[in-house]
Structure 1
Amino acid sequence: MSRLFSDMSEFEIHEEIRSLTEKARKAEQHGIVNEVAVYERKIAMAKSYLLDPSDYKKGEVYELANDPGSMFEISYMNGVFAWGYRNDNKDLEAFPISMLRKNKA
């Protein structure tokens, strides 16, 4: 039975990231693209639990790590998820904070 990342220690999260990275590598070698995407998303979630959500503030703009050039403005935080709007899109989206990069502009 899987444990929640929020219930794991920092060491356990690092171990889980290593395990997921290995599984993603094997899936990629076998050409199972959708499985790779699932593992990458789980890795992003796990990495978010190693960061401090209080470092991410409403109104700040970040670049999305998986979509260079796309900007994301935080409307609010919910745990390790930042909710807001990408570029000029009117649809509210959520991203794990590990997927946000400081805007260099």
Structure 2
Amino acid sequence: MEEVKRYSECSEYELKQEIGKLHEQARKAEQMGMVNEFAVLERKAAMAKAYLLNPDDFKPGEIYGIEGDPGAYFEIKYLNGVFAWGHRLRNGEEEEALPISLLKELKK
């Protein structure tokens, strides 16, 4: 049986391989109309991508766009590993965590 590695333990090469595999599985799930499976696989790929990014590039107090949610903005309160904790600007003050790979810098 294959030992499961955490994304935090994977090399950059292993993460990129995993992301490719997840995207392929997601594509197949979408073609087969398996919407829930597609969403889970896309979220897993976003998690793996987060480990390829440097959390120091994301600053508390800054506002970012959210990948896949046009017109939605997220203000970072603090970072914990590869998760940005904060709130969406249109939804009020409910705190949530997003993988940093889902955040995109706003054009200045």
| Alignment TM class, shorter chain as reference | over 0.9
Give the secondary-structure state (helix, strand or coil) at the position aligned to 1:84: strand
Instruction: Give how far 1:33 is off.
Output: 0.3
1:102 & 1:76 partners in 2: Cα distance?
16
**TM-score normalised by L of structure 2:** 0.93
1:83 & 1:66 partners in 2: Cα distance?
18
Other-structure match for 1:5 = 7
1:21 and 2:23 equivalent? yes
Other-structure match for 1:103 = 106
- Out of 66, 77, 80, which is 1:78 matched to? 80
1:51-77 deviation per Cα after TM superposition (whole angstroms, max 9, x unaligned): 000111110100001211111000000
Match for 2:94: what amino acid? D
Write 1 or 2 for the structure with the bigger share of strand.
1
Aligned length, in residue pairs: 105
1:92 & 1:32 partners in 2: Cα distance?
30
Other-structure match for 1:43 = 45
Q: Which runs of 5+ in 2 are unaligned?
A: none
Identity of aligned residues (%): 55
**TM-score normalised by L of structure 1:** 0.96
Q: Which runs of 4+ in 1 moved over 6 A?
A: none
1:9 & 1:52 partners in 2: Cα distance?
14
